[in-house]
């Protein structure tokens, strides 16, 4: 992407396009990656509530996978996941494994 | 339109500035009282209580909050003013940079006062000089009339599309803020017409067009933002000149980037800001009567500093004493550094620096005479004994 020069910048550096953080892909920051284990999931959606990057996708009130363009691999979803009978529905695994 | 109706009144500097603020009728005024600027707030809050202005007055818990609230209100799209002095300004320091970086044309009435320690409430310029690098336009005023006129002109300068920077109007604490002088007010309707409506750029309260201000900017863009800010300050010089010319045409009082007092043929020149200029003018007159070609240069616009114009005005003098009412310990006085920079490219006069009037110490006519006498001696010999020295200090 061609960078703007100082004369091209918006006045005062104001970000005029709402929600453009979505264009900034942070997925490459991950060193650990969440993996979903369906049989342990109770669909409580705690992972969706807690995800700081809105990277847990939901469809028809059910989990619909991770948005790996934005998931930074922080592990909050895995930490908060209550699982079923002590078995986590989200586990963190080293990226690339 | 020619010169309009004016009203001659006897008021303090604080009352004069409060009256200007009433006429400007800002949308929001967050402020926290501090001597010697308290009088501005006292008068202004009574205007608010008596329905003389539409302003929302926000009584905050500190000056840091005053400037923060001002930034929020200005970013929302409002016309904002505040008033402060000394420690209050120092507490605002962090937010001063944010106001200029966000390019918010906030107006500050700054009643100059010494900084603690030792604790002192009287007038000097250490507060104003401390905000030198904060990206604010800085105007200085010799008396109540100039403080009033500079305040009336302030929004026109700050809000100009080529500028959009915050502006501080300085006057000396107590010497001007608390002394009653005869001066002239402009009629309300004429002020309203002169100042005009404020049209904010990208206000946050334009909810149909959501936006973010204050986003993180890293190594790839920070310098471009700062370069744009620098350009706005460069543009401010011409805008100040244009607004001042229009003001002179309408209201009869002329203001330049600096005042030249008997300067055209002067060989012995003093440079000083604010109220000291009044005393110096009297002494320049006395020396002129004795046949000494003395003169005064009184900067009005300190940021952006008009280097080329000041250099041209001083280059033919033989000796120049720059008088600073603030010190940069271990360096020269802040005004001296500007004058030296202005003259650096020119084959100009011999320069030296006197620090005077700290903590509100009076600059008496005999003090000025000492300076003029020394400047005459320097002009004769071309030699300076002490490049920087404190004036009238016990030793």
Percent of chain B whose pLDDT exceeds 90: 98
Decide if B284 contacts B261 (C-beta within 8 A). yes
CATH architecture for the domain at B6-251: 3-Layer(aba) Sandwich (3.40)
Task: Measure CB to CB from residue A16 to each of B102, B104, B211 and give the nearest one.
Answer: B211
A-chain residues near B204 (CB < 8 A): none
Distance from the A2 Cα atom to the nearest Cα atom in chain B, whole angstroms: 12
B6-251 and B258-390 share one fold: yes
Q: What is the per-residue pLDDT for B2?
A: 46
Distant-in-sequence, close-in-space partners of B69: CB < 8 Å, separation ≥ 6: B28, B30, B58, B60
Spatial CB neighbours of A38, under 8 Å, sequence gap ≥ 6: A89
The DSSP output letter for B135 is T
Assigned domain for A67 exists: yes
Instruction: Report the number of distinct structural domains present in chain A.
Output: 1
Is residue B303 within 8 Å of residue B138, measured between CB atoms? yes
Model pTM above 0.80: yes
pLDDT digits (tens, 9 = 90+) for B21-43: 999 999 999 999 999 999 999 99
Q: Does A1 touch chain B (CB under 8 A)?
A: no
- List chain B domain ranges: 6-251, 258-390
For B137-194, the pLDDT digits (tens) are 999 999 999 999 999 999 999 999 999 999 999 999 999 999 999 999 999 999 999 9
Pick the CATH number of B258-390 from 3.40.1360.10, 3.40.50.920, 3.10.20.30, 3.20.20.140: 3.40.50.920
Is residue B104 within 8 A of residue B214, CB to CB? The reply is no
CB contact under 8 A, B212 and A13: no
Could you give the ipTM of this predicted complex?
A: 0.87
| CA–CA distances in Å: residue B179 to residues B34, B174, B225, B278, B297 | 17, 7, 43, 14, 24
Pairing of strands B268-271, B294-299: parallel
Q: Which of A6, A14, A15 sits opposite B224 (nearest CB)?
A: A6
Q: What does the CA dihedral B136, B140, B141, B146 come to, rounded to 10 degrees? A: -50
pLDDT in tens, B97-117: 999 999 999 999 999 999 999
Residue A57 lies in a domain: yes
Per-residue pLDDT band for B4 (boundaries 50, 70, 90) equals low
Q: Pick the residue of A13, A15, A23 with the most B CBs within 10 A to test the interface with B by mutation.
A: A13
DSSP A20: G
Q: For tokens 């006519």, name the residue.
A: B365
Q: In Å, how far from its chain's centre is CA A20?
A: 16
């Amino acid at each position: 992407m061609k960078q703007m020069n100082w004369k091209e910048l918006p006045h005062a550096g104001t970000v005029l396009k709402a929600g453009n953080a979505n264009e900034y892909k942070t997925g490459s920051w991950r060193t650990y990656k969440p993996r979903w284990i369906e049989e342990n999931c109770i669909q409580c959606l705690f992972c969706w509530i807690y995800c700081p990057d809105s990277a847990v996708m939901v469809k028809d009130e059910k989990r619909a996978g991770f948005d790996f363009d934005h998931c930074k691999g922080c592990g909050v979803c895995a930490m908060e996941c209550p699982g079923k009978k002590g078995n986590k529905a989200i586990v963190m695994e080293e990226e690339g494994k | 339109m020619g010169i309009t109706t004016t009203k001659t009144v006897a008021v303090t500097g604080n009352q004069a500035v409060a009256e200007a603020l009433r006429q400007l009728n800002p949308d929001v005024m967050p402020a926290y009282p501090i001597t010697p600027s308290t009088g501005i707030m006292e008068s202004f809050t009574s205007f608010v209580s008596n329905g003389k202005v539409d302003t929302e007055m926000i009584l905050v818990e500190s000056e840091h909050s005053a400037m923060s609230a001002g930034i929020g209100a200005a970013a929302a799209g409002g016309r904002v003013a505040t008033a402060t002095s000394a420690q209050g300004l120092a507490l605002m320091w962090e937010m001063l940079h944010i106001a200029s970086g966000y390019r918010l044309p906030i107006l500050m009435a700054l009643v100059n006062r010494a900084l603690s320690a030792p604790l002192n409430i009287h007038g000097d310029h250490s507060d104003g000089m401390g905000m030198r690098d904060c990206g604010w336009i800085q105007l200085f005023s010799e008396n109540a009339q100039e403080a009033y006129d500079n305040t009336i002109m302030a929004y026109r300068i700050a809000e100009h599309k080529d500028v959009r920077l915050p502006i501080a109007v300085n006057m000396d604490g107590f010497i001007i803020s608390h002394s009653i002088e005869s001066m002239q007010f402009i009629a309300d309707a004429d002020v309203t017409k002169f100042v005009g409506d404020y049209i904010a750029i990208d206000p946050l309260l334009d909810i149909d067009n959501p936006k973010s201000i204050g986003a993180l900017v890293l190594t790839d863009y920070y310098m471009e933002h700062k370069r744009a800010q620098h350009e706005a300050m460069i543009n401010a010089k011409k805008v100040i000149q244009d607004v001042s010319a229009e003001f002179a045409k309408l209201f009869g009082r002329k203001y330049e980037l600096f005042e030249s007092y008997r300067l055209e043929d002067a060989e012995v020149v003093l440079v000083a800001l604010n109220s000291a200029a009044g005393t110096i003018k009297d002494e320049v007159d006395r020396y002129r009567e004795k046949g000494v070609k003395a003169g005064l240069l009184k900067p009005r616009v300190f940021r952006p500093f008009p280097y080329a114009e000041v250099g041209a005005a001083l280059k033919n003098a033989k000796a120049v004493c720059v008088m600073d009412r603030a010190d940069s310990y271990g360096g020269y006085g802040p005004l001296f550094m500007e004058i030296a920079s202005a003259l650096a490219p020119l084959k100009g006069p011999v320069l030296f620096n006197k620090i005077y009037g700290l903590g509100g110490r009076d600059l008496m006519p005999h003090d000025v005479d000492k300076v003029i006498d020394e400047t005459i001696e320097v002009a004769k010999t071309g030699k300076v004994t002490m490049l920087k020295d404190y004036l009238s200090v016990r030793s």
